[in-house]
Structure 1
Amino acid sequence: MRVKERTHKYIMLFVGAVVSLLWIYPFYLVLVNSLKTKSGIFESTLGLPSVPTLENYPIAFEEMDFILTFFNSIVITGGSIFIIVIFTSMAGYALSRKPGKASTFIYLLFAICMLIPFQSIMIPLISIFGAVDLLNRTGLAIMYLGLGSSLAVFLYVGAMKGIPKALDEAAIIDGCNRFQVYWYIMLPMLKSTTVTVIVLNAIWFWNDYLLPSLVINKEGMYTIPLRTFYFFGEYSTQWHLALAALVIAMIPIIILYMFLQRYIIDGISEGAVK
C-alpha cells in the first residue's frame, strides 16, 4: 500500500513539474529575450543572452510614454474595479437576503451570463455605446461593470449565504438601516471575496487589449496594452523593445498579486462552496 501511495506521489510531482514548466516557459522567453539586442533574439531565441543588456528598458519606457499610459491604465482599471465591487457586493447582499423566485431568477441570470462570449455581443455593444456618445473611459468602465458582474455576484452571493442572518437582525435592532448593515458589517466580513474580485478583474482589465482598442483607441488615452502594440509595425517588429515593454507592463500586476494572493483561495472557497 505504501509503495502504491509513494508511486502516486511521484507521478503527481512529475505532472506538477511538467505543468509548472509549461506555465513558466513563456515568461522565460519574454524576460530572457528582453535582455538581448534585436539581432541577438534572431540568433538564439531560446538561449540565454551572451551579453545581457538593459538598454531596451529605458528606450521602451520612453517610446511608450509610460507615465501617461500607466496613469490611463490605473484610472481605467481602478475605477472599473471600484464600481464592480460596490455594485456587485450590494447586489449579492440583496439577492442573498431576499430569497424568492425573483432573486433566484436574477441570480441564475447572472450565472448564465458567464457563459456568453464577449465576441458575440461586441459589435452591438459598441454600436449602442457609440450612439449615446459613450466611447470613452466612462463607457469602458460601464462595459467592464456589465461584463465582470456575473462572476463577482456569483462569488458574493455564495459568500454571504455563509454569514448568519442573525447579525443583520442584531444590527437592525441596534438602530442600523439596511445600507449600514451592508457597509459596516457585511462588506468588512467579505474581505477575502472582495480581494479575489479585485485581483481577478485587475488582471483582466490591466491586460485587456480588444475592448479598449474598440472604445478608447485615441491619442492620449492609450492604456499599456494599446501602447505596447506601437512596437509591432506593418513591415517590421521591434521585438527587443516590445518584450521589454511587456516586462514593464507585467511588473505592477505581479506586485499586486504578490501582496493579495493569500486572500484569493479563501475568497474563491467562500464564494463557491458556502
Structure 2
Amino acid sequence: MTALTGPAAVKAPRPRSGGTRSLRGATAVFLKYLSLVLASAVVLIPLLAILLTSLRTAKEMGSANPLSAPHHWLNFHNYVTAFNDGHMMRALWNTSFILFFSVLGTVLIGSMTAYAIDRFHFPFKRLILGLFLIASLVPSVTTQVATYQIVNNLGAMDTRWAPIMLYMGTDIVSIYIFLQFIRSIPVSLDEAARLDGANSFTIYWRIIVPLLKPAIATVVIIKGVAIYNDFYIPFLYMPDDNLGTISTSLFRFKGPYGAHWEVISAGAALVIIPSLVVFLALQRFIYNGFASGATK
C-alpha cells in the first residue's frame, strides 16, 4: 500500500498533553490539602500545647518542650487549683445568666425587626436598612465613651444587665440573617392567616417563628460563642470581682499564678472546653443555617 499524498492526505491527530494536565491537577490537589493541613496546624497546635502544659507539674515546666508529653496523663491537680482559685463556678453562672438573656433578647429583637422590615411598608425603609448597614461598619470602640455614659446614667453600671443591654442592642448581623430567611417565606401564608382573622403578632408568632428554626439556631450559636468569648464589655462594665465572667475571671486569675503556666493553661482549658464541645456538637446547624440563608 502507498501513502496518500496531496489534498487527499489526512494528517494524523496530535496526542493531547494528558500528562501535563494530570500533573497540574495533582499539583492543585496537593496545594489544596497542604493549605488545609497548615490551617489546621495553626489552630490545633496551640490548643494541643495548652492541653499538654495543663497536665504537667511545676518541675516538668523547667525542662519540658511545650509539645512534649507529660509524665502523668491523669494529673488533674492544676485543673482543681484553677477551678477553685479562679472561681470558675461563679464565673460560669455569671456567664450563663448573661448569655441566656442576651441571646433570648437578640433572637426576639432581631426576628421582630426583620419581620417588620420585610413584611411592612413604611417611609424611609431603604434609609433604615442603610443605617443598619452603616452601624455594622462603625467600630464599636469609637462609640464607647457615649455608650459608657448612657449605661452609667441608666444605673446599670456594675450589674449583669449592662452587658445584656449592649449585646441585645448592637447585633446588626442577626437582623440580616433573619431577614434572608423571612424573605424566603411566601407572603401567601400571611395573607391566608389574615383571612382567618390573625393579626400581625399572631402571624409572627404562629407562622414566622416556627419557620425560622434554622436561622434561630445559627444566631444562637454565633451570638452565644461571641458572648462567651467576649472580654472587653464585661471587663469595662462589670469591674466587681463577684461579677466576673469566664474571660475576665481567667484574666484576674493570672495575677497570683503569673509564673505557673501549667495552672494558667489549666484555667484556659476550662474556658475552652465548654465552647469547643458545644460548637462541635452543633456545627451542622451553623453550616446548614448559612447555606439555607444564602440559597433561599
Fold equivalence (TM over 0.5): yes
Confirm or deny: 8 A CA contact 2:99 2:228 kept in the other structure: yes
1:104 equivalent in alignment to 2:126: yes
- TM superposition shift of 1:98: 2.1
In structure 2, relative to structure 1, the CA distance for the partners of 1:102 and 1:271 (3 Å cut) is: farther
In structure 2, relative to structure 1, the CA distance for the partners of 1:42 and 1:229 (3 Å cut) is: farther
Aligned equivalents of 1:105 and 1:39: distance in 2? Answer: 63
In structure 2, relative to structure 1, the CA distance for the partners of 1:70 and 1:234 (3 Å cut) is: closer
Stretch deviating more after TM superposition (17-26 or 106-115): 106-115
1:9 to 18, 29, 32: 29
Confirm or deny: 8 A CA contact 2:82 2:266 kept in the other structure: yes
1:54 equivalent in alignment to 2:54: no
1:21 equivalent in alignment to 2:41: yes
The residue number in structure 2 matching 1:33 is 53
SS in 2 for 1:145: helix
In structure 2, relative to structure 1, the CA distance for the partners of 1:21 and 1:163 (3 Å cut) is: same
* Map 1:194-233 → 2, pairs under 5 A: 194-233=216-255
Confirm or deny: 8 A CA contact 2:181 2:215 kept in the other structure: yes
**Structure 1 runs, 4 residues or longer, greater than 6 Å off:** none
Aligned equivalents of 2:188 and 2:177: distance in 1? Answer: 21
1:141-183 Cα shifts (integer Å, max 9, x gaps): 11111222x1000111111111111111112222322111111
In structure 2, relative to structure 1, the CA distance for the partners of 1:236 and 1:67 (3 Å cut) is: closer
Q: How many residues align?
A: 273
1:140 to 144, 163, 179: 163
- Give the gaps of 5 or more residues in structure 2: 1-20
1:183 equivalent in alignment to 2:177: no
Stretch deviating more after TM superposition (198-207 or 226-235): 226-235
- TM superposition shift of 1:262: 1.0
| Pairwise CA RMSD | 2.0
The residue number in structure 1 matching 2:175 is 153
The residue number in structure 1 matching 2:5 is none
In structure 2, relative to structure 1, the CA distance for the partners of 1:238 and 1:126 (3 Å cut) is: farther
Stretch deviating more after TM superposition (133-142 or 236-245): 236-245
Aligned equivalents of 1:230 and 1:215: distance in 2? Answer: 15
| Letter of the 2:57 counterpart | T
- Give the gaps of 5 or more residues in structure 1: none
Confirm or deny: 8 A CA contact 2:55 2:70 kept in the other structure: no
SS in 2 for 1:233: coil
| Letter of the 2:41 counterpart | L
1:82 to 93, 104, 107: 104
